[in-house]
Amino acid sequence: MEYQRFVLGDLRVNSFLVWSGREAGIIDPGEPAGELLAALEKRDLQLKWIVNTHGHADHIGGNAQLQAATGAPIWIHKEDRPMLTSAEANLSAWLGAPIISPDAAGTLQDGDTLKLGEERLTIIETPGHTPGGISLYFPGLLFSGDALFRESIGRTDFPGGSASKLIQVIKERLFQLPPSTLVWPGHETSTTIEHEIRFNPYFQ
């Protein structure tokens, strides 16, 4: 599995192009999505799916542009699906620039897999930042959305947030992954599971 990170939008969301062979997926497309489309064309990749780790506006802003250009289906957890089509629910209304995404083709839940070529990413439910937060795991690599950050966790003061739930799921699910697993969160820099177990102040 190969990947490339793009930092997009005013809130500098980490958007990821992942691929195996000529099949590609995009995780959390920020707006505008032109850089993602250019990378697909440059690498001669076919976009098979778009996944949102949760429904906040900065992580879904590029959905419409990408789907219009490629026809790729959008996937999200069922609890966050309503956020795609509601500027109030995805918080973009508060920012004065409403974002409405096309609806999802379907929903994802814990244990589901997304295929690219002969490789697969596994869905891990990581609610707490939002009710339907998910992370995507490939051996040695975790895309954690806004659940786990370097020495921090996602905000839980938005509607539907739960600090206790987020801390619990990180301890019970993410911290059980191999310590060397590279973690790419939805914003800022990468970390590892080992580093977070040792130094994240929320778990000391």
Cα–Cα distance measured from residue 153 to residue 203, given in angstroms and rounded to the nearest whole number = 10
The low-confidence residues of the chain, meaning pLDDT below 50, are none
Question: Is the domain covering 2-203 a CATH 1.20.120.1200 domain?
Answer: no
- Helix, strand, coil percent content, the chain, rounded in steps of 5: 25, 30, 40
pLDDT reported for residue 94: 85
Which regions of 30-167 does DSSP assign to beta strands (E)?
46-51, 74-77, 106-108, 113-116, 119-125, 134-138, 141-145, 148-149, 152-153
Beta-carbon contacts of 146 under 8 Å, excluding residues fewer than 6 positions away, are 53, 54, 56, 59, 129, 130, 133, 154, 155, 185, 186, 187
pLDDT reported for residue 96: 81
Q: Domains of the chain: which residue ranges? A: 2-203
pLDDT reported for residue 65: 97
Structure confidence by residue, pLDDT tens digits, 130-141: 999 999 999 999
pTM of the model: 0.97
pLDDT reported for residue 97: 86
pLDDT reported for residue 33: 96
